[in-house]
């Protein structure tokens, strides 16, 4: 089939690579989000998908809005048979959905109908799911509600961050998406409606959502921090400034501490929660680089009894 691939972040690149390597399909163009500014220098950066497409010599389309008539006209000229999608980042209008004969097929990083929305992997980690996965489905106008072609499952490991889990899913999902394209092309694959039960939503995680509540149980704190790593990044307040947090380790046998209370040792920094203490891993003080929590405490001369979250 002639394919137009739609995607934006690094997690979409393995799927693009898998389709480029396929001897059954031709990726003739990619659709990605417009260049965006990032970093302290506010440099204009192209998306990882756009960079990979440029390396492969493929046409790159960057519509400001997918409903723009210039974009729709170019898509009609290309006349794709199918448009595979991985984390494109914009809603597709009906006019775009109707162009390819086999529609737009999305690789979504959950076992639908669980975790429909923008942040399925983060929510799976934060909810403490033991198993998650990826699904391919035919995009319709509802939110991730279209009929499903196939799924692949993935165990959620106890120490997984959302970044760890997404990396694994991006590769297993790439194989699933390629197999889905094969099945659509030869007519052996049929999409089945999602069940009405079991629907959960996974809205985007904001910076405010990533603020740690030290009165919550240690298990919830651990899941929140891992779910927000690497983005948007869990954080707390210390001496009126923001302190970013890397994954923590539960420390149920390390003494009684009030929520947010610090216990500083030579090689470890503990903090109290609503249940038992956790040990801080890496931290990033405002305006500084990431460092081991023990190095931060030593350099800032932090004493036991001081509090996070104030």
**What pLDDT digit, counting tens, does each position of 78-102 carry?**
999 999 999 999 999 999 999 999 9
Q: What is the CA radius of gyration of the chain?
A: 22
Helix, strand, or coil (residue 82): strand
Long-range contacts of 90-98 (CB under 8 A, 24+ apart): 90/33, 90/65, 90/66, 91/66, 92/6, 92/66, 92/139, 93/66, 93/67, 94/141, 95/67, 96/66, 96/67, 96/71, 96/72, 97/139, 97/140, 97/141
How confident is the model at residue 143, as a pLDDT?
Answer: 92
Residue 254 pLDDT grade (very low, low, confident, very high; cuts 50, 70, 90): confident
**What pLDDT digit, counting tens, does each position of 242-251 carry?**
999 999 999 9
Residue 40 pLDDT grade (very low, low, confident, very high; cuts 50, 70, 90): low
42 pLDDT more than 80: no
190 pLDDT more than 90: yes
pLDDT (mean) for 260-285: 96
Percent of the chain exceeding pLDDT 70 equals 99
Burial class (CB in 10 A: 0-12, 13-18, 19+), 297: buried
Residue 39 pLDDT grade (very low, low, confident, very high; cuts 50, 70, 90): low
Residue 75 pLDDT grade (very low, low, confident, very high; cuts 50, 70, 90): very high
Percent of the chain exceeding pLDDT 90 equals 94
How confident is the model at residue 38, as a pLDDT?
Answer: 74
Q: What is the mean pLDDT of the chain?
A: 96
**What pLDDT digit, counting tens, does each position of 194-213 carry?**
999 999 999 999 999 999 99
232 pLDDT more than 80: yes
Phi, psi (degrees; rounded to nearest 5) at 233: 95, 115
Helix axis angle, 13-21 relative to 48-55, nearest 10°?
20
269 pLDDT more than 70: yes
Helix, strand, or coil (residue 259): strand
How confident is the model at residue 161, as a pLDDT?
Answer: 98
**What pLDDT digit, counting tens, does each position of 54-66 carry?**
999 999 999 999 9
Residue 253 pLDDT grade (very low, low, confident, very high; cuts 50, 70, 90): confident
How confident is the model at residue 142, as a pLDDT?
Answer: 87
């Amino acid at each position: 089939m002639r394919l137009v691939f739609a995607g934006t972040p690094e997690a979409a690149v393995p799927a693009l690579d898998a389709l480029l390597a396929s001897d059954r399909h031709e990726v003739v163009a990619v659709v990605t989000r417009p260049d965006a500014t990032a970093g302290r220098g506010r440099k204009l950066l192209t998306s990882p998908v756009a960079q990979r497409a440029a390396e492969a010599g493929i046409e790159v389309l960057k519509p400001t809005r997918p409903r723009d008539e210039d974009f729709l006209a170019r898509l009609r000229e290309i006349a794709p048979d199918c448009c595979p999608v991985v984390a494109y980042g914009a809603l597709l209008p009906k006019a775009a959905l109707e162009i390819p004969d086999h529609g737009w097929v999305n690789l979504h990083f959950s076992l639908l109908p669980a975790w429909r929305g923008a942040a399925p992997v983060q929510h799976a980690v934060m909810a403490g799911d033991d198993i998650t996965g990826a699904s391919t489905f035919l995009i319709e106008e509802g939110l991730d509600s279209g009929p499903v072609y196939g799924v692949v499952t993935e165990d959620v490991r106890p120490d997984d961050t959302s970044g760890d889990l997404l990396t694994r899913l991006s590769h297993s999902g790439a194989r699933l998406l390629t197999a889905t394209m094969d099945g659509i092309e030869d007519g052996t694959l049929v999409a089945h409606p999602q069940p009405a039960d079991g629907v959960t939503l996974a809205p985007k995680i904001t910076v405010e959502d990533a603020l740690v509540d030290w009165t919550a149980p240690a298990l919830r704190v651990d899941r929140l921090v891992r779910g927000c790593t690497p983005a948007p990044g869990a954080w707390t307040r210390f001496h009126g400034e923001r302190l970013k947090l890397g994954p923590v380790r539960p420390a149920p046998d390390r003494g009684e501490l009030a929520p947010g209370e610090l216990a500083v040792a030579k090689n470890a920094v503990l903090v109290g929660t609503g249940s038992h203490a956790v040990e801080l891993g890496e931290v990033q003080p405002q305006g500084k680089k990431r460092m081991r929590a023990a190095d931060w405490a030593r350099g800032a001369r932090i004493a036991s009894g001081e509090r996070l979250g104030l």
